[in-house]
């Protein structure tokens, strides 16, 4: 089933152009030499809210406004970056925002949501738990619920990242994308496969949160019991319905990475490129340590978020320099 349209994604890019920045894509000389193929980093962690999430949020909300929907309050469920984007976007539009944050949400991200004016309600252990409460709240209070990944307008907004990459660099062999609920990779893979079917799209999940990996193995959407990973932004127990169909059609494979390699990736990006990312934002890069990518290939790695927790900053990044 066709959920997205390339022309609609192009319109989405135009729709949100005043709310996002075109983030840089650069070649890492150090890691290209280390791995034996050309490593490029797409730095969408440089968005104003610290992650790519503003793309989907702004496209969803502006699409509703274009339709004439009267919005007073934005409501969502998020462990972090999506909630930050919703809070920020509500603030610049003069709207109220309410974010239902699960137990896995980090203090730094919650404080950013509060900084942008969000009312924080702690509910559930994971985002799918919090989502139920958020939907109920939005229905009771005539508010607009913005799903973090299982919404076509959100996916369409994330897909603009694929357009941007292709406009910056067309000679791509691989694109490596972190995967939580699947919205980002669904959008990127749809765009890039429609522009060049030869580009291989690889999704990356933690071994501790393999919801999409297992769903593809079973050929059906499942909910895993737990998703305990240092990369809390991809600690999602079930893939989105739209995303699952798009992933099946356009993604070449989903690979799993260890927690130790996610930590190593985060540290290496800082030590060698001085890129300070959260573990989720660096998780796609972790795939490169054990990949079988052919020599001299052109590989684009999506770096998605910089909202690193104080705890990780102190216990891992700073401590690595003391030892």
- Average pLDDT of span 82-96: 97
Q: What is the pLDDT of residues 234-248, one digit of tens each?
A: 989 899 999 999 999
Is 122 strand, coil or helix? strand
What's the whole-model pTM score?
0.93
Q: What is the pLDDT of residues 239-282, one digit of tens each?
A: 999 999 999 999 999 999 999 999 999 999 999 999 999 999 99
Most distant CA pair in the chain, distance: 58
Q: How far is CA 316 from CA 67, 181, 284, 309, in A?
A: 47, 26, 18, 11
Among the listed ranges 1-10, 74-83, 187-196, which one has the minimum average pLDDT value?
A: 1-10
For 6-52+151-322, CATH number?
A: 3.40.50.1100
- Average pLDDT of span 219-225: 93
Nearest alpha carbon to residue 270 among 255, 259, 257, 285 = 285
**CB-based burial of residue 198 (10 Å sphere; 0-12 exposed, 13-18 middle, 19+ buried)?**
exposed
Nearest alpha carbon to residue 309 among 151, 93, 77, 81 = 81
Q: Give residue 314's pLDDT.
A: 73
Q: What is the pLDDT of residues 13-50, one digit of tens each?
A: 999 999 999 999 999 999 999 999 999 999 999 999 99
Distance CA 236, CA 247 (A): 16
Q: Give residue 321's pLDDT.
A: 61
Q: What are the extents of the domains in the chain?
A: 6-52+151-322, 54-145
**CB-based burial of residue 245 (10 Å sphere; 0-12 exposed, 13-18 middle, 19+ buried)?**
middle
Question: Helix 241-250 and helix 183-195: axis angle, to 10°?
Answer: 30
- Calculate what percentage of the chain has a pLDDT beyond 90: 86
Phi-psi region of 248 (alpha: psi -120 to 50; beta: other; left: phi over 0): alpha
Map tokens 């496209």 to a residue.
59
- Average pLDDT of span 137-155: 96
Nearest alpha carbon to residue 239 among 207, 208, 215 = 215
Map tokens 């895993």 to a residue.
224
Q: Give residue 322's pLDDT.
A: 55
Among the listed ranges 14-23, 64-73, 222-231, 252-261, which one has the minimum average pLDDT value?
A: 222-231
Residues with Cβ within 8 Å of residue 64, at least 6 apart in sequence: 71, 144, 153
Exposure class string for 288-312: b at 16+ Cβ within 10 A, else e: beebebeeebbbbbbbbbbbbbeeb
- Average pLDDT of span 302-319: 82
Distance CA 60, CA 305 (A): 20
* The architecture CATH gives domain 54-145: 3-Layer(aba) Sandwich (3.40)
Please tell me if the domain spanning 6-52+151-322 has the same topology as the one spanning 54-145. Answer: yes
């Amino acid at each position: 089933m066709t959920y997205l349209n390339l022309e609609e994604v192009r319109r989405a890019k135009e729709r949100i152009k005043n709310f996002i920045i075109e983030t840089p894509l650069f070649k890492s000389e150090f890691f290209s030499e280390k791995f034996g193929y050309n490593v490029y980093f797409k730095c969408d962690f440089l968005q104003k809210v610290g992650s790519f999430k503003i793309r989907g949020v702004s496209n969803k909300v502006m699409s509703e406004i274009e339709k004439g929907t009267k919005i007073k309050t934005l409501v969502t469920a998020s462990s972090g970056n999506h909630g930050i984007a919703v809070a920020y976007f509500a603030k610049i539009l003069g709207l109220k925002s309410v974010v239902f944050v699960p137990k896995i949400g980090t203090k730094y991200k919650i404080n950013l949501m509060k900084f942008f004016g969000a009312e924080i309600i702690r509910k559930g252990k994971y985002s799918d738990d919090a989502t139920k409460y958020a939907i109920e709240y939005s229905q009771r209070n005539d508010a607009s619920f913005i799903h973090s990944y299982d919404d076509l307008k959100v996916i369409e907004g994330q897909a603009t990242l694929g357009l941007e990459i292709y406009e910056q660099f067309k000679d791509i062999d691989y694109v490596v994308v972190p995967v939580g609920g699947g919205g980002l990779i669904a959008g990127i893979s749809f765009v890039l496969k429609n522009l060049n079917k030869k580009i291989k799209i690889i999704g990356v999940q933690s071994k501790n949160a393999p919801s999409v990996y297992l769903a593809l193995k079973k050929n059906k959407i499942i909910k895993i019991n737990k998703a305990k990973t240092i990369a809390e932004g991809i600690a999602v127990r079930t893939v989105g319905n739209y995303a699952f169909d798009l992933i099946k059609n356009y993604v070449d494979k989903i690979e799993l990475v260890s927690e130790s390699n996610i930590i190593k990736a985060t540290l290496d990006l800082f030590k060698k490129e001085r890129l300070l990312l959260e573990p989720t934002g660096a998780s796609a890069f972790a795939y490169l340590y054990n990949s079988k990518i052919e020599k001299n290939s052109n590989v684009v790695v999506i770096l998605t978020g910089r909202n690193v927790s104080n705890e990780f900053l102190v216990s891992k990044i700073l401590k690595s320099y003391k030892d």
